[in-house]
Amino acid sequence: MEYLLPILFVFVAFIYSSVGLGGGSSYTALMAILGISYTVIPTTSLTLNLVVTFIGMINFWRGGHGRFNLVGPFLFTSIPMAYLAGSLYIPENIFKIILISTLFLVVVRIYIINELSLSFQLSKGEKWVLIIGLGAVLGFIAGAVGIGGGIYLVPLIIMFGLGSAKEAAAAGAMFIWVNSLVGFIARFQARTFDPDFVIPLIGAVILGGGTGSYFGSVSYNAKTIQKIMGAIIIVAIIFLIRGVI
């Protein structure tokens, strides 16, 4: 366990940072599979998201893909919801149900939405409804289970014609970073941060995230490897369901 998680997290950070994501869904899934305490999982995932997406923000925004007017409106509702969820005491069974539901949606995102080439034209009012609602839901998920929400946000930005693939990746990196910071602050105040457990993992994701986001900001495409990580998430869902039933 001492060496397994850091090794796995190098690869996770590399894969997800290459498309502007933090990897929180896979960090959470792997820790759930390996039986890490549910009280530590969200804070750990949020911490690692902070590290990876900070590197990603620098690389994508330095590459000229950042648009604050794209990501800013989503943050308006996500920030208070991330703090609220991070401040709540969630019983273990409820935590697992939320986590299973969230991971299931991640699988849908990886295997279904990634393969669709749909696009929608929204009116100005419809865009604001989408932005306000999506920001609130993804902020709550970030604070509750440690998944930053960018894995959902990035394809939806592209699907609804709000930005290009690179702009969506840059927006996803900033969205995850801000919500992870807010959720982390709330959970740190609740004393669920274990520095001895987290510090070795931070080194691993710095290595993976730095190289992945560099290649991603240039030309790298990680769809195939994301599908492999999707398989890991499916295994985690099965383990979690067995634990709830």
Q: Report how far residue 76's alpha carbon sits from residue 48's, in angstroms, rounded to the nearest whole number.
A: 23
What digits encode the pLDDT tens for the residues 78-136?
999 999 998 888 888 888 888 898 888 888 877 877 665 556 676 778 888 888 998 99
Helix (H) or strand (E) holding 229: helix 223-244
Residue 1 tokens read as: 């366990």
pTM of the prediction? 0.80
pLDDT at 33: 85
Q: How far apart are CA 34 and CA 224, in angstroms?
A: 24
Give the Cα separation of 23 and 207 in Å (integer). 14
The rounded Cα 186 to chain-centroid distance in angstroms is: 17
More confident residue, 213 or 71: 71
Residue type for position 134: L
CB 150 within 8 A of CB 175: yes
Q: Where are the domains of the chain?
A: 4-244
Q: Give the pLDDT confidence of 140-186 residue by residue, as tens digits.
A: 988 888 888 887 888 888 877 788 877 888 888 889 899 989 988 98
Name the residue among 104, 117, 186, 193 with its Cα closest to residue 151. 104
Give the C-alpha separation, 148 to 234, whole Å: 19
Q: Is 234 exposed, middle or buried (0-12, 13-18, 19+ CB in 10 A)?
A: middle
